[in-house]
Amino acid sequence: MALAEERLDAVAERVRELAADYDPPAFDHVPDSDAALFLCAIDHSTGYREEHTVAGERPFAGSALLWAVAIDAAAGDPGALTAARLEDVSGTEVADLLRIDPRTRRIECSQ
């Protein structure tokens, strides 16, 4: 057996071990699949500089903060993160949706 095949077999065995106990995330906190796809698509270099409390929950930072703010916004406006609603929004409208407070622009956008 070639070295590459041995390595592949070892990796495959490890994947099987990990998969046996894997419990995939349910994303129960996400309002719908469109919201999950949208947040995954924009979830990079959020630009948030500080931790913030969202909807009375623990302080969030970075990616967790982005998701918490967006999910909170969607809770107050069901369907806000669906493809149909986001199709024609501007970067400014998305930034406003993701604003933490008046002094915080959550994301930078170009028009």
**Does residue 65 contact residue 17 with C-beta atoms inside 8 Å?**
no
Crossing angle of helices 62-76/33-42, nearest 10°?
Answer: 140
**Does residue 101 contact residue 87 with C-beta atoms inside 8 Å?**
no
Sign of CA dihedral 35, 38, 44, 46: negative
pLDDT digits (tens, 9 = 90+) for 66-97: 899 999 989 988 899 999 999 999 988 888 88
**Does residue 68 contact residue 86 with C-beta atoms inside 8 Å?**
no
Q: Please state whether beta strands 52-53 and 59-60 pair in parallel, antiparallel, or not at all (unpaired).
A: antiparallel
23-32, 65-74, 86-95, 102-111: lowest mean pLDDT where? 102-111
